[in-house]
């Protein structure tokens, strides 16, 4: 029949290899460069497309990873999604992206949707899971790795930057620069990342003899963070430095201080962020910020998830990766000899 569907057996015959070799090539499994070249040339000549659903029914593996993300306004997450997708693709996997609000109900609903696709594993990016859903994933044998978020009391692997140490590094930098009225516009305190950065920052200041900093919850919102900055600068003792829980908020704060309040950065107030998104390096912002080691975080997340897919009984991992403080022009630097 002229319209008969081309099969992997047809590709194998034309390429002069076994049908299992064709399967290995299109599943991302190990195959020689010569075999890969022969199989892909034969597939292109025949117009062959592998049937992922059929393969999943046979092997019990879909080669699909579910990724749940709360929001994409923060530049950090589009970059993370792109690199996670590239890293998984290099290992023969694909991403199924699901957007969810930060409410537990919406996250649970999004995760339930993912379960219906016979996914091999799940990565959650800055969203929390209920204990019931965690138990359900475990019962179904679907491993979950949390990216850029931890969750106390859960038996889930997580990969984050060293948020506490990062907050402490910012505090030490500001103190070394001679700042004495230091405030903090925090990330959402309902998240582990927001809490850990705030904790590390405050503890380092107090340990150095500085009074506890004024902390306002910016909730990872540009508008809320910008209003918090106005409130701080309108106070009786405005800060001479503000550490802001991520760059997404920090850029909005800089705009508010300069264009609405007419302040000079860093002459009137120093600003430090967290993430090091591309806009932080733009000359218009030149933001000093604690860099999240995104490539290493992605590598650790993918390696951890695939290891748990291969070995469901593997011990869960809590990985923290230290990132550097990137010095630019938004904060006064310590005097150097």
Rounded Cα distance between 326 and 27, Å, is 40
CATH number for 64-161+294-321 (one of 3.40.50.2300, 3.40.109.10, 3.60.20.10, 3.40.640.10): it is 3.40.50.2300
- Which of 334, 295, 328, 285 shows the shortest CA–CA distance to 86? 295
Q: How distant, in Å, are the alpha carbons of 65, 69, 103, 220, 281 from that of 97? A: 9, 8, 18, 21, 29
pLDDT value of residue 226: 98
In the beta sheet, which residues pair with residue 95?
A: 65
Helices (H) and strands (E) in the chain, counts: 12, 12
pLDDT value of residue 337: 44
| Whether the Cβ atoms of residue 264 and residue 292 lie closer than 8 Å to each other | no
Rg of the chain on CA atoms, in Å: 24
| Whether the Cβ atoms of residue 7 and residue 22 lie closer than 8 Å to each other | no
**Structural tokens at position 329:** 């022009």
* Domain 163-293, classified CATH 1.10.3720.10, yes or no: no
pLDDT value of residue 241: 98
Rounded Cα distance between 302 and 157, Å, is 11
Q: What b/e readout covers 155-172, taking b as 16+ CB neighbours within 10 angstroms?
A: ebbbbbbbbbbbbbbbbb
Query: Which parts of the chain register pLDDT below 70?
Result: 1-4, 28-29, 51-61, 102, 336-337
**Structural tokens at position 228:** 């918090």
Sheet of strand 318-321: strand arrangement: 94-99, 64-69, 121-125, 144-147, 157-161, 318-321
Stated pTM of the model: 0.83
DSSP, collapsed to helix, strand or coil, labels residue 211 as coil
Residue 252 parent element (H or E): helix 247-255
Burial environment of residue 227 by CB neighbours within 10 A (0 to 12, 13 to 18, 19 or more): middle
As a residue count, the chain comes to 337
What residue ranges do the domains of the chain occupy?
Answer: 8-50, 64-161+294-321, 163-293
Residue listed under structure tokens 């590239």: 86
DSSP, collapsed to helix, strand or coil, labels residue 154 as coil
CA atoms within 13 A on the CB side of 271: 32
pLDDT value of residue 2: 42
In the beta sheet, which residues pair with residue 291?
A: 275
Contact partners, residue 296, CB within 8 Å, separation at least 6: 321
Task: Evaluate the CA torsion angle 204, 210, 213, 261 in order and state its sign.
Answer: negative
């Amino acid at each position: 029949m002229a319209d008969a569907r081309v099969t992997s057996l047809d590709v194998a015959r034309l390429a002069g290899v076994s049908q299992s070799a064709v399967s290995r090539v299109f599943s991302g499994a190990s195959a020689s460069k010569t075999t890969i070249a022969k199989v892909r040339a034969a597939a292109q000549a025949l117009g062959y497309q592998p049937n992922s659903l059929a393969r999943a029914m046979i092997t019990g593996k879909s080669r699909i990873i579910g990724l749940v993300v709360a929001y994409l306004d923060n530049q950090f997450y589009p970059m993370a999604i792109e690199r996670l997708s590239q890293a998984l693709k290099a290992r023969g996997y694909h991403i199924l992206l699901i957007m969810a609000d930060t409410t537990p109900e919406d996250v649970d609903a999004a995760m339930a949707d993912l379960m219906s696709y016979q996914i091999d594993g799940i990565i959650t990016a800055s969203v929390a899971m209920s204990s019931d859903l965690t138990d359900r994933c475990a019962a179904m044998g679907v491993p979950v790795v949390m990216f850029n978020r931890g969750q106390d009391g859960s038996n889930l692997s997580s990969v984050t930057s060293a948020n506490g140490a990062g907050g402490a590094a910012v505090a030490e930098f500001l103190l070394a620069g001679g700042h004495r009225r230091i405030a903090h516009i925090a990330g959402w305190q309902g998240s582990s990342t927001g809490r850990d950065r705030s904790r590390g920052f405050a503890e380092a200041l107090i340990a150095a003899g500085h009074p506890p900093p004024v902390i306002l919850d910016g909730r990872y919102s540009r508008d809320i963070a910008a209003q918090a900055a106005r409130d701080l600068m309108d106070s009786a003792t405005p800060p001479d430095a503000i550490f802001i829980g991520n760059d997404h908020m920090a850029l909005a704060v800089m705009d508010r201080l300069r264009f609405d309040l007419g302040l000079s950065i860093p002459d009137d107030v120093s600003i430090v962020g967290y993430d090091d998104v591309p806009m932080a390096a733009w000359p218009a912002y030149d933001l000093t910020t604690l860099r999240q080691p995104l490539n290493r975080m992605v590598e650790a997340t993918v390696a951890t998830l695939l290891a748990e897919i291969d070995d469901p009984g593997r011990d869960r991992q809590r990985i923290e990766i230290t990132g550097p403080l990137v010095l630019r022009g938004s904060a006064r630097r310590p005097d150097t000899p």
